[in-house]
């Protein structure tokens, strides 16, 4: 099913409903711009906010959430909030402590989704046990990972008691992640895209421009629509109100099968972020 509006959700394998579309805040520094971006997103109907401990902006995100909920007159339960445990904190006790720190900074009682940020060898299994504990104790609604390749998922699931609900990875028309998506689908793990617009590097692509002109949409809207029609949750980042609104204005048109194939054909397995098989942080 393709999302029909901004508040449409996908049901994760544990029954939790997660919005298909959300706001990412990677590299948005603490301060009024961040608080306003979160408030603006909520005001315009976004119901999913994604942050991480390493972004160093959980406090501002929390403030934006509190102010945004109040202004929109909606409850905390109507919002889906994600954060991630950083590599330095991967370990059973240290991951549990990192979760409490994130909650405190965000000023929340629980998270909807908590992710292991990177598959640090020899560490992610202990961290996963901690996430399983938090999940079983009802402290978090869903758990998953970010940047895990197929072999990382296979390795983790050999010992896992709880199957991951989400795998959030770099995904855009130059990195379509087809094999990983098939694997996740097969195992009931929802794929989510970070950096869906390739950090702006695709916004002058001629092939995408042609499709955008045909639908009278922006290139960003074409890419985000392509995510949704591929069954991928997406979280574009922006701090500008007009862009936050524009990014989400993708429910009034549909890409054709031909458009979808044309976008798929742009794949070059090209990353703008680190390689999950070869990172040193």
Active site residues: 55
Cα–Cα distance between 262 and 191 in angstroms, integer? 21
Asked whether 44 and 56 are in contact (CB, 8 A), the reply is no
Burial degree of 153 (CB within 10 A; 0-12, 13-18, 19+): buried
Q: What is the dihedral of CA 91, 170, 224, 265, to 10 degrees?
A: -150
- Nearest in space to 138 (alpha carbons), one of 108, 101, 109, 167: 109
**12 Cβ partners below 8 Å, 6+ apart?**
18, 142, 165, 166, 190
Cα–Cα distance between 150 and 173 in angstroms, integer? 19
């Amino acid at each position: 099913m393709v999302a029909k509006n901004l508040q449409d959700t996908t049901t994760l394998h544990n029954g939790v409903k997660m919005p298909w579309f959300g706001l990412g805040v990677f590299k948005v520094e603490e301060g009024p711009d961040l608080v306003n971006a979160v408030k603006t997103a909520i005001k315009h109907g976004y119901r999913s906010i994604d942050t991480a401990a390493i972004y160093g902006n959980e406090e501002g995100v929390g403030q934006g959430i509190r102010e945004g909920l109040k202004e929109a007159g909606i409850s905390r339960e109507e919002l889906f909030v994600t954060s991630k445990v950083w590599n330095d904190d991967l370990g059973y006790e240290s991951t549990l402590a990192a979760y409490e720190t994130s909650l405190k900074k965000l000023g929340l009682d629980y998270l909807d989704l908590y992710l292991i940020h990177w598959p640090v060898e020899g560490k992610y299994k202990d961290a996963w046990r901690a996430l399983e504990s938090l999940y079983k104790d009802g402290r978090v609604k869903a758990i998953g990972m970010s940047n895990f390749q197929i072999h990382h998922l296979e390795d983790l699931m050999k010992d896992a008691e709880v199957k991951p609900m989400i795998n959030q990875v770099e995904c855009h028309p130059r990195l379509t992640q087809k094999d990983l998506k098939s694997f996740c689908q097969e195992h009931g793990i929802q794929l989510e895209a970070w950096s869906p617009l390739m950090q702006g590097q695709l916004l002058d692509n001629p092939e995408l421009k042609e499709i955008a002109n045909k639908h009278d949409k922006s290139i960003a809207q074409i890419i985000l629509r392509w995510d949704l029609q591929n069954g991928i949750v997406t979280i574009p980042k922006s701090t500008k109100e007009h862009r936050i609104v524009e990014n989400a204005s993708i429910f009034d048109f549909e890409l054709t099968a031909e458009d979808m194939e044309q976008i798929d054909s742009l794949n070059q397995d090209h990353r703008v972020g680190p390689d999950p098989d070869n990172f040193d942080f």
